[in-house]
Structure 1
Amino acid sequence: MRSQPVPGGTPEELTEYSLGALLVPTPEQPEPDDFDRFWQSTFEEFGTGAVAWRTVREGDATPTHRVSEIRFDSSANEPATAFVMVPHAASAIRRGLVVGHGYGGRTGPDVERVPADTAAIFPCAPGTHPDAPSRFPALPAEHVLAGIAHRDTYSLRFAAADVWRAATVLLDLAAPTAGALDFSGSSFGGGIGAMALPWDARFRRAALDVPSFGAHAIRLTRRCTGSGEAVRTHLRTHPEARSTLDYHDAATAARRLRLPVHVGAAVLDPAVDPRGQFAVYHALTGPRRLTVRANGHIDGPEGRLADALALQASIDFLALPDDRLLGETSTGPL
């Protein structure tokens, strides 16, 4: 283990695990008997039926896409923000893409993620956009604790439900995406995607990069610089909240995923424990592909390079022909 000081005097743990150890699946952790029932009922409540939305402003178009900011009805019973990119010509649309975000939130679309033949929606999780008032706080250390006293009120439940609702809006906006709908998410968005996708048969494929919320029994044993530290500290005085996390575990949910999934997992990450990231990958039971990152959530040139390579790996995976998705592939460190 290596540590270095960060602003505020808190030590930043840079725990680097051996790839050999991370590639060995950890024993499956116990899960709630009604895990499936909880999420299926959540999907029935929030993921079916029409979703109202409206355009609030048009953005600067790209050579291939119109760009707009919309508001849609969140599962949290409040307006949610999303950014939408739709090809200028409807005849050009071949795929749809829902893109999750990290705990830094988003203020616009990531245009580099969207190929010319793809319509995409970039939803903001409840509470994470400054122009959409919410009962959920924006700060990651507060957002990750909001509603944690009960599984039905937890912020992560509504963030996952809004993935389904954003997909409904995208299909309404760009009907040709039906049948070829993909998901891409990193960090917070990767973990939320793992929770949301098993219950929504509309999705075809997914890319989860440095996914958070995997294997809470493991991630809570280690100090970190991410939102997990707020949860770890909270549980010291509120141990009763631990059961809520069992219903919001990305690795537990990933056991239910049958669609092809690409996971980018880091061997060194001060914010999201690598063991939790790899636990999400190991839990997958359908076609899967692993890209091993040298690091995650690291500032500086090394971190930016790892992020760029991982993004390209995700884009490439989502663009693969279906007959290239059989079996399992592992690549070396990025």
Structure 2
Amino acid sequence: MALFDLPLAELQRYAPEVPEPDDFDAFWDGTLKQADAGPVLLDATPVDAGLSLVDTWDVAFAGYEGQPVRGWFTRPRGATADLPAVVEYLGYGRGRGLPHERLTWAAAGYAHLLMDSRGQGDLYGNGGDTPDLGGGALGGPGVATRGIRSPHDYYYRRLITDAVRAVAAARALPGVDPARVAAVGNSQGGGLALAVAGLVPDLAALMISAPFLCHIQRAIDMTDADPYGEIVRYLAVNREAEAEVRRTLSYVDGVLFARRATAPVHVGVGLRDTICPPSTVFAACNHYGSADRTVHVYPFNHHEGGEALHTRRQLDWLGEKLR
């Protein structure tokens, strides 16, 4: 894919006016208070993952409306001190898979909680284990359009709430320093991590790459690539629903969460990314609520961004922020 978005110099100052609902804060305050009615940690069972250098637990925590959400919790074996923790969120269509798949953060000396994505896991990877118990509202076949006619029914209301509760769960797990918790994610996971940064005021650090759900109104006008393409196809059939859909999407837009975020942030973006267009990522970056921002641009890369090179940059940056 050739370069298709704004030139880099324009991207670096692209800070569009993204309208927000008058009740945005009240909507999320009410949603999170409802989720916070009981204990967050439901279960943490040690499992034999076939690994000799880390310990692993199969975790269940109370997410949206107290519904159970699965996760894998991993710590370096033999660590006795309370460790800084990384809470990781997954890309669109992926479930938590198997515990030996994601070992970077534990190998680097962090406690690591990988959150399963409710109702996902069937597009690639090794599956998921968390049903979407609130998924009865009308919508298209993919989760990006499930319940999309109302912000109260929308799938991402539930998933973002799960993501916020995952931070609380990580802080409740053994051997975690609750003052040093970072959120990380790529694509959908990046969008979730950004939402968490806007909703959890004392997050220690944020690492996102190619975040989904940013400047969504522009994204659905720019690209037919999934997951945004699912929304486009929904509106191609439900032609009268555009105003309702755009209103719903305004409640989950990463630009609005970015305005409220204060944690130091590390960002990766590929300038040829047609899945999460670069201008949508820069819109969030340039509205971000903290001046402590590090952005790595990959001019010749698509949605994969900097891959392993970017991970190494994340490791170096996070070491400075949390150690």
TM-score range, shorter chain: 0.7 to 0.9
Q: Which amino acid aligns with 1:297?
A: H
Are 1:198 and 1:254, in contact at CA under 8 Å, matched by a contact in 2?
A: yes
Match of 1:328 in 2: none
Find out whether 1:293 has 2:293 as its counterpart: no
For residues 262-300 of structure 1, give each alpha carbon's deviation from its aligned partner in whole angstroms, at most 9, with x where no partner exists.
Answer: 1112211121111111111111121111111232325xx
Could you tell me how far 1:312 is from its partner in structure 2? 2.0
Are 2:54 and 2:106, in contact at CA under 8 Å, matched by a contact in 1?
A: no
Could you tell me how far 1:102 is from its partner in structure 2? 0.5
Return the TM-score normalized by structure 1. Answer: 0.82
> Structure 1 CA distance, aligned partners of 2:79 and 2:36?
25
Are 2:219 and 2:280, in contact at CA under 8 Å, matched by a contact in 1?
A: yes
Match of 1:7 in 2: none
Are 1:96 and 1:118, in contact at CA under 8 Å, matched by a contact in 2?
A: yes
Q: Which amino acid aligns with 1:84?
A: F
Greater Cα offset, 266-275 or 82-91: 82-91
Q: Which amino acid aligns with 1:102?
A: G
Name stretches of at least 5 consecutive residues in structure 1 with no aligned partner: 3-13, 324-334
Q: Which amino acid aligns with 2:31?
A: T
> Structure 2 CA distance, aligned partners of 1:205 and 1:165?
16
Match of 2:19 in 1: 30
Find out whether 1:180 has 2:180 as its counterpart: yes
Return the TM-score normalized by structure 2. Answer: 0.85
Are 2:76 and 2:106, in contact at CA under 8 Å, matched by a contact in 1?
A: no
4+ residue segments displaced more than 6 Å: none
Cα root mean square deviation, aligned: 2.5
Match of 1:147 in 2: 147
Task: Give matches, 1:230-269, under 5 Å.
Answer: 230-236=230-236, 237=238, 238-239=241-242, 240-269=244-273
Q: Which amino acid aligns with 1:108?
A: L
Residues 123, 80 of structure 1: alpha-carbon distance in 2 compared, 3 angstrom cutoff? same
Percent of aligned pairs with the same amino acid: 25
Could you tell me how far 1:90 is from its partner in structure 2? 4.8
From 109, 114, 119, the equivalent of 2:106 is 114
Could you tell me how far 1:45 is from its partner in structure 2? 2.0
Are 1:102 and 1:187, in contact at CA under 8 Å, matched by a contact in 2?
A: yes
Could you tell me how far 1:116 is from its partner in structure 2? 4.3
Residues 86, 48 of structure 1: alpha-carbon distance in 2 compared, 3 angstrom cutoff? farther
Matched length: 304
Matched residue of 2:195: which SS? helix
Could you tell me how far 1:180 is from its partner in structure 2? 0.5
Matched residue of 1:157: which SS? helix
Task: Give matches, 1:1-334, under 5 Å.
Answer: 2=2, 15=4, 17-47=6-36, 49-55=38-44, 58-60=47-49, 62-75=51-64, 77-105=66-94, 106-109=96-99, 110-129=102-121, 130-135=128-133, 136=135, 142-236=142-236, 237=238, 238-239=241-242, 240-286=244-290, 287-294=292-299, 295-298=301-304, 306-321=306-321
